[in-house]
Amino acid sequence: MSTFTKDARETTDKVSHRVELVAGARLAALMLRHGVGVQAEATVTPHRLDQDSFQAPRPLTG
């Protein structure tokens, strides 16, 4: 069942260009993907472990 009005659905059938009615979670996902109507609130910097910092200790000599 569509969440759009009968008039909205009929109008998309009458126009010469392809029109897709989008709402809800799909609309939100498209807005985020394309940066439309949204602003970044925080940016996260990914990190990775530096394996060289965690090498096995060398035996003491002397």
Q: What local confidence, expressed as pLDDT, does residue 26 receive? A: 95
Token readout for 5 is: 């009005």
Mean pLDDT of the chain: 89
Q: Is the pTM of this model over 0.75?
A: no
| Measured distance between the N- and C-terminal CA atoms of the chain, rounded to whole angstroms | 81
Residue 21 CB partners (closer than 8 Å, separation 6+)? 2, 4, 8, 9, 12
Residue 62 has pLDDT above 70, yes or no: no
The answer to whether the beta carbons of residues 21 and 8 sit under 8 Å apart is yes
Q: Tell me 54's DSSP state.
A: G
